[in-house]
Amino acid sequence: MPVGNGEYKDRLFNFLFGSEENRGWTLSLYNAVNGSAYDDPSQIRFTTIREVMYLGMRNDVSFLVAGEMSLYEQQSSFNPNMPLRMLQYLGNLYQRHLDERKLNKYGPALVPLPAPRLVVFYNGERQRPDEEVMRLSDAFPEGAEADVEVRVRAVNVNRGRSPALLAACAPLREYSWLVAEVREGVARDPGAELGTIIDRAIEAMPNDFEIKPFLTAHKAEVRGMLLTEYDEAKAMELFREDGRREGMREGMRMGRLEGMREGMREGAIATLRALVEGGLIAVSDAAAQAGMTVDEFERAASELTTS
């Protein structure tokens, strides 16, 4: 069974802040994150990686403005490996930057590069601080001296958190409101269809919300994005729980810790494989969750199918 690189399904965050149509909102978000006051959205040039361009590699939103390369990721499941993933994204983006400008990194002249700005916008249900910094060096052995460091700023954009940031960017604040409204709608009426809850949340948005006309005009697309994102978040929780349960069963059967570890590993890979097949996550993300390269993950998934 080959693990495919199915077409990536956009999230609402990408739709709002990563499209040519909404450059003004992207600039507003950039200004809020960096404390700047740029006012010309035409200066933004999107550089977002899609899987069709780089097999097994995609990011949420990236763009050039003011001499900087901004990489923005939205996550509903906190991932401590974002410094490593951002480093991989950045390498691909820099290579494309050089190719497009015909710059020679092997030549005698210093090649100018845009400075990276790496930010994760977290809106999951688990408690996280308003802001924290993740570092690549957190993954290194304790006391190791390293020649490379990557810092990623992680911001909690759930409703009621990071008030200064949300106040500075109306589209982000309104996006946060919508996500919270859908989540609370599910809690209030667990028997209702999620699509209906999403429609209700959009209709309940105050009329002065800047993003409401856009969401209303694209209601079907927005519904599909939120359905996918909600399913992905829930599936990731199931993936973790399934891995724990499978590991315990296998460990009890084999009577040793190694069996428990192996069972957890196989349960996790099987669930991640199902997410990839369903188009909920990219194979690169599944591999990252499993702590593997894409090739290792595909081999492991194939072995589970044939065993």
What residue spans define the domains of the chain?
12-306
Task: Say what percent of the chain tops pLDDT 90.
Answer: 57
| pLDDT exceeds 70 at position 85 | yes
- Where does the pLDDT of residue 51 fall: very low under 50, low under 70, confident under 90, or very high at 90 and above? low
Side chain identity at 213, as an amino acid letter? P
* Helices 170-188, 23-34: crossing angle, 10 deg rounding: 100
- Where does the pLDDT of residue 232 fall: very low under 50, low under 70, confident under 90, or very high at 90 and above? low
Lowest pLDDT segment from 66-75, 98-107, 189-198, 224-233: 224-233
Strands (DSSP E) found in 123-267: 131-135, 151-156
**Alpha-carbon distance 69 to 66, whole Å?**
9
pLDDT at 58: 62
| pLDDT exceeds 50 at position 55 | no
Write the CA distances from 37 to 131, 235, 297, integer angstroms. Answer: 22, 39, 44
What is the pLDDT averaged over residues 14-43?
96
What global pTM score does this model have? 0.76
List the structure tokens of 72: 């923005």
**Alpha-carbon distance 89 to 81, whole Å?**
13
In this structure, the strands spanning 131-135 and 115-122 are unpaired
pLDDT at 271: 72
- Where does the pLDDT of residue 2 fall: very low under 50, low under 70, confident under 90, or very high at 90 and above? very low
Q: What is the mean pLDDT of the chain?
A: 83
List the structure tokens of 246: 């499978």
pLDDT tens readout for residues 131-141 = 999 999 999 99
Q: Which residues pair with 64 in a beta bridge?
A: 45, 69
- Where does the pLDDT of residue 86 fall: very low under 50, low under 70, confident under 90, or very high at 90 and above? very high
pLDDT at 10: 61
What is the pLDDT averaged over residues 39-55?
76
What is the pLDDT averaged over residues 84-93?
92
pLDDT tens readout for residues 249-259 = 544 454 444 44
**Alpha-carbon distance 193 to 191, whole Å?**
7
pLDDT at 236: 52
- Where does the pLDDT of residue 272 fall: very low under 50, low under 70, confident under 90, or very high at 90 and above? confident
Q: What residue has token string 């994102």?
A: 229
| pLDDT exceeds 70 at position 76 | yes
Q: What residue has token string 């948005």?
A: 205
pLDDT at 279: 58
- Where does the pLDDT of residue 60 fall: very low under 50, low under 70, confident under 90, or very high at 90 and above? confident
**Alpha-carbon distance 121 to 2, whole Å?**
32
